[in-house]
Every structure is written in structure tokens, then in C-alpha cells.
Amino acid sequence: MGIELRTADLIAVREQLGREPTTRFSVVCRCGPGHPLVIRNAPLDANGEPFPTTYWLTCPIAVRAVSRLESGGWIAKLNERIHDDEAFDEGVEAAHRAYADDRAAELPDARGWGGVGGTRTGVKCLHAHYAYHLAGGEDPVGAWVASRLEPLHSERLGGRVAAIDQGTNSIRLLVVAPGPGPRDVPAELARDMVITRLGQGVDRTGRIDPQAFSRTVAVLARYCRRARALGAGRIRVAATSAVRDAENRDEFAAAVREHADSDLEVITGEREAGLSFLGGTLGLETMSSSGVEPPYLVLDIGGGSTELVVGARARRADRAISTPMGSVRLTERLVTGDPPTPEDLAALEREAGHIIEGAVRGAPALADARTLVSVAGTATTLQAIALELERYDPDRIHRTWLALDEAERILVELARMTNEERAALPVMAPGRGDVIVAGAVILVTVMRRFGFARTLVSETDILDGLVFEMLGIG
Ligand SMILES: [Zn+2]
């Protein structure tokens, strides 16, 4: 389950449920007006008791609409259909199995607690099926509920779009509804990230590893179902470094065509940089009173590559450099110990410094920037640690300053920990703990080289850039 939770969502869910939530949860998707629609609960509640309802419908309007179906006798009718219609029966049983697997991914013992909403067979609770459908589950009962109820709010459904950013380390989803005006920032309906390490070993073998491939495609398929369940008419899938460099990228392109019904965009490092710049700088002009002055340098530290992009105005990149240096790639190449040895750290710093010097030679304009904007997981996670957050709250992180001495201090702390200790930090996304030291070295080296005493940390990045482009913003 996601580790991310905004304080505003915690308050909203408390109000929607009319009580304190009893389990840890993350928000899976939202209604057009912005409130949580489905949350994902941890398998154990605060007292350590089993909590089989993994996906929970929280929007009161949705809950009431589903309750009306239930009181109209639809549970009995759907169970009759299961009895009469073999394909429907198989579909419902498959949904129960997949739901149990999904819960078990977090806690293996939880597989035995039943399927959708804890149901072992047949249909018991339409709310649970509908929530699972909205989360991207393949659930014929949930899909049927959706066809009866939607739209839930009297809102415009047109123009909704989704983007998926396939990086080296993670696969991310953003589903949005257009804002009221053509240049307005769109409303977020879902945002998600899973670390599947598609790029694992690509640097060494030149090919995508079969296990990493199937892990990733399973997430891709779920994301596409979720995007469609939320009304996205178009799903754009962009892949960066790892896929770009893999010989067998056609296999991934075929999976994208199947699930997203669109052609995979394998984007060049320069395009990637331009999109990061668009996503990272939209609206920055309004922040000059906080010392955010152009030109802006956007630093996007990925798993397989790092982009450095400079522009004199928000949205429009003037010069971009993509470097073959990323947190996963450097870790695989240079880290030999756990925790990393002093020699490993020295090698990381040397390599990062060397690659950055090459970038500056290729684009001297990089050195003219007055504001450093750091996007993506390395920087946002370091900031979450610097702010001593007990849970990852993007609202607390977005567009706040991280000082160089703080970043250096945290790098030293992280480098002293083992992979296991780093992974156990409450703000660390699963799968990031063992590569964040290399990512932090890249960040600190860039700050030192360009003389930045602080960096603005941004939650918006290439993923936002992809949807802004789809909506004609920027
Ligand atoms: Zn709602």
C-alpha cells in the first residue's frame, strides 16, 4: 500500500466515515470535487486485528447511491445471475482471488481472509465491489454497479485523461479532469506510484528482465483499468531510460497497446527533460516573493538517467541535458557494501561529479540558473526526512526549500544505515531504500557544483508535464 497520506485527506475521510479511521490507509482515487472516493486500507487495524476490506468506498454520495441499489434487492438478483451465468460466475470468482492476492502482497497471511470485501464466494456487499472496480480491479459486479450509478456527482465527465510514466525504477499514474478554464491546473482524480524496477539489470544485459516485466505489466494493467473506471478517455504511456535502452522494448510496447490502447511513447532524454521542466515549473512565476527567481534549473533524478533543464521562463525549457546517471544505475555499478563502504561513496561522488562536468561543458547555460527546482522521489524523500514527517504528506513537501547542509547531513545519515534500516523509515517508498544513497549523492553534487545553498522541492514533474500537454496547457 502507498505510504502517502495528506493531512487534508485524513480530515476528509474522518468526516466521510463520521469517526476516526481504524486502519492506516492511502487514497486510491477521488471524485471530481477533490474528496476521497476510494481508500486502500492496511490488512491489519490499529489493534492488529484482520481488516479484510482492502478497498473502501468513502464518498458519501457514492455510498448512498450503492445502498439504494442494495435495498432494491440487487444483491439477491446478482447472486441469481451468478447461478445462471457461468461466465459471470467465473468473473466474480476471479475477482475474489485477485483481491485476496492484492491484500496478500502486503501481508501473506491475509490471503485466507476472503476476496472482495472479505467475501469468500458470491456477492455480499456492492460497496466493496464498486470500490474494487474504481481501484482498477477486474470485477464484473463493480463494473455493473458503475454502469448503473455514474456519474455520481452532477459534474462534467468529458475531457478526462490519464498519463503513465514508466521510469527505470517506478511506474506512476496520474488521472485528471480538466480545470474550469483552459489554462487552469487540472483536478487530480488519482495519483499512484509503484516501484517495480523494470530497469533492473538493463544496464548490464541490455534487456528487460522477464520477472520485472511481468511485475510491471500487472501494475500497468491495473492503472489502465483504474483510469478508465475514472472516465479517462485517453491514456498516454511514456517510457524513459530503461525502456529506451532495452533491446526487447517491443514486448513492452505490445503490452501498452493491449492495456492502454495507445502507442508507447519512448521519449528521448531531451523530451523527458522538457516535460519535467513543464511539470516542475508550472506556476512558479507567482513565487518570486519567496525568492524563486528565473532562470530555473530543474533537476530530475531518475533511476536510469538524470535530466538537467534550464529555462528563463516557467513551462518552456531553453536547454536540456540528459545524463546516463541515475540512482539505480549508479547503485548497480558502484555500490558494493551494505551499508556502502567509504570507497563506494567516494566512487559515487567521483562519477556524479565527472558526469555533471560533462553536462556543463555541453550546456554552459546550466550555470546561469538562479533557482534549483528538484523533482522526483530522491529529492522529495530527502525533504520528507528533513522535515521529520511521520508519514509522507506531499502537501507538506511540495514547493518547500531544502538546504544544502540539510541534504548533506541526511546523506551522511542514510549512508550509515543498511538497506533494511533505510527501507524501514516511515516516509520511504517500498523499493527506494537501497538506491536513495546514490540519488542523494547526485543531488548534493549538483547543488555543490552550481553553488546552490538550497533547492526548491517539487512534487510535480514529468508525469504532470505529460497531462498538461494532453490538455494543451504549457
Ligand atoms: Zn464524491
Using a CB cutoff of 8 Å and minimum separation of 24, what contacts does 260-263 make? 260/164, 260/220, 260/224, 260/235, 260/236, 261/224, 261/235, 262/234, 262/235, 262/236, 262/237
How many angstroms is it from 251 CA to the middle of ligand 1?
Answer: 38
Q: How far is the CA of 129 from the centre of ligand 1 (A)?
A: 17
- Determine the distance separating the centroid of ligand 1 and the alpha carbon of 36, expressed in angstroms: 7
CA of 145 to the centre of ligand 1 (A): 15
| pLDDT tens for each residue of 332-354 | 999 999 999 999 999 999 999 99
Distance between CA atoms of residues 341 and 338, nearest Å: 7
**Ligand 1 centroid to residue 202 C-alpha, Å:** 42
pLDDT at 2: 56
To which residue does cell 567509504 refer?
Answer: 342
What is the pairing mode between strands 234-239 and 306-311? unpaired
- Angle 172-176-178 (CA atoms, 0-180°, nearest 5)? 150
* Separation CA 118–CA 133 (nearest Å): 15
Determine contact, residues 132/55, Cβ cutoff 8 Å: yes
Which three cell numbers, joined as nine digits, stand for 22? Answer: 481504524
Measured in angstroms, how far is the CA atom of residue 436 from the centroid of ligand 1?
A: 37
How far, in Å, is the centroid of ligand 1 from the Cα of 258? 30
- Ligand 1 mean position, distance from CA 270 (Å): 39
pLDDT beneath 70, residues of the chain: 1-2
List the 36-41 sheet strands across, edge first. Answer: 25-30, 36-41, 55-57
Say how far apart CA 172 and CA 154 lie, in whole Å.
29
Rounded CA separation 40/130 (Å): 13
- CA 144 to centroid of ligand 1, rounded, Å: 18
- Distance (Å) from CA 57 to ligand 1 centroid: 10
CA 38 / ligand 1 centre spacing (Å)? 9
Ligand 1 centroid from CA 61, angstroms: 6
pLDDT of residue 431: 87
Integer Cα distance of 321 and 365 in angstroms:
11
Distance 33 CA to ligand 1 centre (A): 7
For ligand 1, the distance from its centroid to the CA atom of residue 73, given in whole angstroms, is: 24
Q: What is the pLDDT of residue 1?
A: 45
CA of 400 to the centre of ligand 1 (A): 30
Grid cell of 259 as nine digits: 492495456
Question: Which residue pairs from 283-287 have beta carbons closer than 8 angstroms and sit at least 24 positions apart in sequence?
Answer: 283/185, 283/314, 284/314, 284/371, 284/373, 285/313, 285/314, 287/399
Q: Supply 321's cell numbers.
A: 541535458
- First-to-last alpha carbon distance for the chain, in angstroms, is 33
Three-class secondary structure of residue 43 per DSSP: coil
Q: Please give the domain boundaries of the chain with CATH numbers for all domains.
A: 7-149 (no CATH), 161-266 (3.30.420.40), 280-466 (3.30.420.150)
104-110: Cβ within 8 A, 24+ apart:
106/1, 106/42, 106/43, 107/43, 107/44, 110/43, 110/50, 110/52
Q: b/e for 303-320, b at 16 or more Cβ within 10 A? A: bbbbbbbbbeebbebbbb
β-partners of residue 177 are 187
Protein residues placing their CB within 5 Å of the ion ligand 1 = 31, 59, 61
Report how far residue 285's alpha carbon sits from residue 292's, in angstroms, rounded to the nearest whole number. 8
284, 333, 457 from 321: Cα distances, Å: 21, 22, 20
**Helix, coil or strand: residue 207:** coil
Say how many Å lie between the CA of residue 43 and the centre of ligand 1.
24
Measured in Å, residue 64 CA sits from the centre of ligand 1 at 10
Cα 58 to middle of ligand 1, angstroms: 8
Rounded to the nearest angstrom, the distance between the alpha carbon of 194 and the centre of ligand 1 is 25
| DSSP assigned state of 74 | H
406 Cα to the center of ligand 1, angstroms: 40
Q: In a 3-state reduction of DSSP, which class is residue 266?
A: strand
